[in-house]
Amino acid sequence: MINLLKIIFICLFINWNTSTFGQTLDKKYIDDWINETYINPTISEYTLYILNGNPIDKNDINKEFIKYKTKDISSIIYLRKASLQEVYCAIDEGAILINTFNKKPNKYFKKDIKQKLNSLKKELKISDVKYPSVIINDRIVDNKLVKTEINKIELKTILDINIIDVPVNEKKYGKNAKNGLIIIYTN
């Protein structure tokens, strides 16, 4: 009986572990994340999905996503219809930009990260800035420590910075989510 319970526990643990950390990326995971994070998003069959800068045909979404695990995602950005008119004039239903961690960052990626970090540190010098919620390596940073934690980050350790400058879900990301969200991954 005890051996049977051990086997059941091990099977449950393996299932939980693979579903949490090794889950294959799919459209449902992305859509759920958008719906939990953004306030009143509109995702339809016409929403454009862009993976690592490449638009995905709606018939091939899961075929493209299956190449990645959820842990490979560095950023997910939801663009509403209004913000898309400047970028993709033919799209009326919004877009979802998904980026995965870049194993070998190119010079443009490094330059972009440097600009984002410098801009962020510059804004933190302003005392009356309303901080957004900040997550560093999947850990929500206490509001009182945002400035200190971001200033401790060295450019060479950054894998990605995702800045969402619109209000996001306060229940999930805390009271400062109304000021946006910054997600930083370091190695």
Digit-coded pLDDT (tens) for 127-182? 556 778 888 988 888 888 888 888 888 888 888 788 888 888 888 888 888 888 88
Tell me if 28 sits within 8 A of 74, measured CB to CB.
no
pLDDT of residue 18: 45
Q: Which amino acid is at 77?
A: I
User: How many angstroms separate the CA atoms of 76 and 46, rounded?
Assistant: 18
Decide which of 143 and 104 is more confident.
Answer: 143
Summarize pLDDT for 42-72 with one digit per residue, the tens: 888 888 888 887 888 888 998 999 989 988 8
**Given this model, what pLDDT does residue 31 score?**
93
**Residue 46, phi then psi, degrees to nearest 5:** -100, 0
Model-level pTM?
Answer: 0.61
13-37: pLDDT as tens digits: 444 444 445 688 999 999 999 999 8
**64, two tokens:** 């493209």
